[in-house]
Amino acid sequence: MVSVTMKELLEAGVHFGHQTRRWNPKMKEYIFGQRNGIYIIDLQKTIKSFKEALQFVKTVAENGRQILFVGTKKQAQDIIRDYALKSESSYVNQRWLGGLLTNFRVIRNSVEKLVEMEEMRQDGRWELLSKKEQSRKEKVYRKLQKNLGGLVNLTELPGAVFVIDSSKEEIAIAEARKMKIPIVAVVDTNGDPEGIDYPIPGNDDAVRAIELFASKVAEAIIEGKKARLAQGMMEEKKEEVPAEAQPAEAVSQTDSGDRNE
């Protein structure tokens, strides 16, 4: 199981919320107090919530489903991409395209168009196009790559979404709720934890905090995938056990049954 310590949370500044004038009363139960006009998040509750979320993420990965990373705010973009790639997950780190989950088939068609363009660039077909056609397709390719590049391997709806900043990504959360896709989200003191299956109270602005959350989720996914692989190997070995390797008791019972006939 992925570990989460109080020391890690403190060093990343996870406990720093927003200014007291910018808060959501629904986050009251997660607030420890305030200091210099800033809400301080109760890290005991953060640890509990985070561990529950990580266990869930691991289970989703162990069941062979994808977790979609979502974080489009400037300080989260590179982190979201890097840890999604590290865990071989899909991600959205630019603009969330409306209908990505609720109209997945249409979005997937655009992703397949991007995949086809990438194949053309690799196998030489791109060079066979006229300069004018290359220029036209290049503009389309860049736009698709920017908005959909992280979704190339998402061939079906994800098993869960992991969100940095529930307030900013409210459209993604609304779509996930509509499609009944479980949501794991970092919720700051100005956010709304309602409707989120696994809310993690914490700082969603500081780079170190965002990286801590994303790195732990990536670790949980990797653990889940390793467990799934190990289970698959065990099942393969069971299928490969020859008849002569069966327990002696089972063999003798079979022989006895044959003689009685």
Q: Please check whether residue 58 lies inside any domain of the structure.
A: yes
Q: Write out the E strands in the chain.
A: 16-19, 31-35, 38-41, 67-70, 90-92, 160-164, 183-187, 198-201
Give me Rg for the CA atoms of the chain. 24
> Do 129 and 69 reside in the same domain of the chain?
no
> Do 132 and 196 reside in the same domain of the chain?
no
- The domain in which residue 142 lies consists of 102-156
C-beta separation of 58 from 227 below 8 A: yes
Angle, vertex CA 193, rays to CA 52 and CA 167, nearest 5: 120
> Do 129 and 27 reside in the same domain of the chain?
no
> Do 176 and 53 reside in the same domain of the chain?
yes
C-beta separation of 175 from 182 below 8 A: no
Annotate 145-166 with b (16+ C-beta within 10 A) or e (fewer).
eebbbbbeebeebbbbbbbbbb
Q: Which residues pair with 161 in a beta bridge?
A: 68, 183
> Do 39 and 70 reside in the same domain of the chain?
yes
- C-alpha 57/C-alpha 137 separation (Å) is 38
pLDDT digits (tens, 9 = 90+) for 9-55: 999 999 999 999 889 999 999 999 999 999 999 999 999 999 999 99
How many independent structural domains does the chain possess? Answer: 2
> Do 144 and 79 reside in the same domain of the chain?
no
Q: Please check whether residue 254 lies inside any domain of the structure.
A: no
> Do 161 and 150 reside in the same domain of the chain?
no
User: Does the model's pTM come out above 0.75?
Assistant: yes
Q: Please check whether residue 145 lies inside any domain of the structure.
A: yes
Domain boundary among 135, 156, 177: 156
CATH code of the domain covering residue 187: 3.40.50.10490
CATH code of the domain covering residue 107: 1.10.287
> Do 182 and 92 reside in the same domain of the chain?
yes
Q: Please check whether residue 20 lies inside any domain of the structure.
A: yes
> Do 18 and 46 reside in the same domain of the chain?
yes
Q: Please check whether residue 52 lies inside any domain of the structure.
A: yes
Q: What is the mean pLDDT of each run of 10 residues along the chain (261 residues)?
A: 94 95 93 95 98 98 98 98 98 96 96 91 85 87 92 97 97 98 98 97 98 98 95 75 56 49 46
pLDDT digits (tens, 9 = 90+) for 156-170: 999 999 999 999 999
DSSP string across 164-190: E-TTTTHHHHHHHHHTT--EEEEE-TT
Q: Please check whether residue 165 lies inside any domain of the structure.
A: yes
